[in-house]
Amino acid sequence: MQVDSVQRWMEDLKLMTECECMCVLQAKPISLEEDVQGDLILAGGPGPGDPLQLLLKRGWVISTELRRIGQKLAQDRWARVHSMSVRLTCHARSMVSEYSAVSRNSSQEMSQIEKLLMEKCSELSAVTERCLQVENEHVLKSMKACVSETLSTLGEHFGQLLELALTREVQALVRKIDASDNIYTTESTTGNLFSLTQEGAPLCRIIAKEGGVVALFKVCRQDAFRCLYPQALRTLASICCVEEGVHQLEKVDGVLCLADILTDDSHSEATRAEAAAVVAQVTSPHLPFTQHLSSFLESMEEIVTALVKLCQEASSGEVFLLASAALANITFFDTMACEMLLQLNAIRILLEACSDKQRVDTPYTRDQIVTILANMSVLEQCASDIIQENGVQLIMGMLSEKPRSGTPAEVAACERVQQKAAVTLARLSRDPAVAREAVRLSCMSRLIELCRSPSERNSSDAVLVACLAALRRLAGICPEGLQDSDFQQLVQPRLVDSFLLCSNMEESFV
């Protein structure tokens, strides 16, 4: 959610104060235990208003308590288990009463689960209190199993209640979007739906099942809501991280709608970029269910053409990243896409973009470009296009990709760039002209450095294997570029032996 971090922290402070006398009197014994301060997380709930926020915040508090009670139970910290159980009962009761106060009449099913939840909370408090009086270890051990079972059942009831309540609120939001002809109402409701998608996959599944995808595509098919297309498409991209979202997208001809938006130049760049983000999501090679999106093949040529154009005309790095990510995923999705990209001169467009810092200035974007090149390099014609556009030198530069910030995500992106650059080089070096150009540009020296120096590849085994493969391919065509020691250690042995040699280089035997 796009909320200032300080503002979010201030809101969360509401969950860090004590407001119920029962909690103070029964759940906060004076103690010298080192983790007492860590237990002061519970609170009175959020203020009156949005039932969704109430559910999410109370849900987070109760989920945290359930997890921590389980941890204390495993440590046989019975005093802590009991005090936290009492506090859990307070918060469960508060959630039920607060939600009842702000929501419409609850269903019979919800009322039944609420009753079961509160019964289990009372049972947990009672049994943990009895455990405090027991000194016999064997009896305590049998009671521990009972407490664990009660805690597990309580968690199930809580999960069922929370899912029912959230489903109900999502249904209300979807109905509101579906029925609205007011741009401000639709904007506000779509924003609420997007915020929910950021809470994780379970909520995305609920939204998909309750018709959220259908309602959002309805928005994207109405000219009156054109200014809301980016927001609606961004929400769709989030929902489609789950299988139910992709299935709903296919049912409502969502791919055709995305193709229409991407190919219509009257739409803003922001709108087309968000449509590209949805395409990237539904073609992700990391999601197995996207590979069965049969309707995509029918519109693939139009979509690929529009995405290449968006890459060429992108006014910012973010737009280029979304368009190139969609293209990269499509090259995994179907091999025909690589041939289409060749015909559209995509290699020239992508390599030209590499020298434009406004469009390509992060390892994340270079990761998408080198992915496309690696997948296209299986085609014979690709080699001549790469040489013509001075692509070998750019690939050589990608072998030296370094993170700026040192964050885990950026380091991982740099590793992917290095690995895929080596893979691309190995595939392209089937062509002797590419191999000779790579040797001329000292690619072999860089590959040897990556193999022998773990710090240059961030100790990545994937980069090492790719570099060894590329080095062996180049050495087969231009062996004169290697010293004897490099040949004997990195080329002549079996690949696995060279890998073990290089991967053990930073081990200390002191």
pLDDT digits (tens, 9 = 90+) for 131-190: 888 777 787 778 888 888 989 999 999 999 999 989 998 999 999 999 999 999 999 999
Single-letter amino acid code for the residue at 335: T
pLDDT score of 20: 45
pLDDT band at residue 294, thresholds of 50, 70 and 90?
confident
pLDDT score of 272: 97
Distance CA 274, CA 278 (A): 6
pLDDT (mean) for 348-371: 93
Single-letter amino acid code for the residue at 203: L
Torsion angle (degrees, nearest 10) of CA 454, 456, 462, 466:
-110
Distance CA 268, CA 327 (A): 20
Q: For 63-92, b where at least 16 C-beta lie within 10 A, e where not — what string?
A: eebbebbeebbeeebbebbbbbbbbbbbbb
Cβ of 476: how many Cβ atoms within 10 Å?
Answer: 12
Q: In terms of residues, how long is the chain?
A: 510
Distance CA 90, CA 257 (A): 49
* Residue 314 dihedral angles phi and psi, to the nearest 5°: -55, 135
Question: Percent of the chain at pLDDT above 90?
Answer: 49
> So where are the chain's domains?
51-165, 381-509
Instruction: Between 498 and 13, name the one with better pLDDT.
Output: 498
From residue 411, give the alpha-carbon distance in Å to each of 62, 402, 415, 421, 459: 35, 8, 6, 15, 11
Cβ of 397: how many Cβ atoms within 10 Å?
Answer: 15
Question: Percent of the chain at pLDDT above 70?
Answer: 89
pLDDT (mean) for 428-456: 90
Tell me if 87 sits within 8 A of 41, measured CB to CB. no
pLDDT score of 311: 95
pLDDT in tens, 12-25: 666 554 444 444 44
Angle CA 462–465–468, to nearest 5: 145
pLDDT in tens, 220-229: 999 999 999 9
Which CATH number applies to 51-165? 1.20.120
Cβ of 456: how many Cβ atoms within 10 Å?
Answer: 18
Average pLDDT, the chain: 86
pLDDT (mean) for 346-375: 93
- Closest by CA position to 501, among listed 445, 456, 461, 457: 461
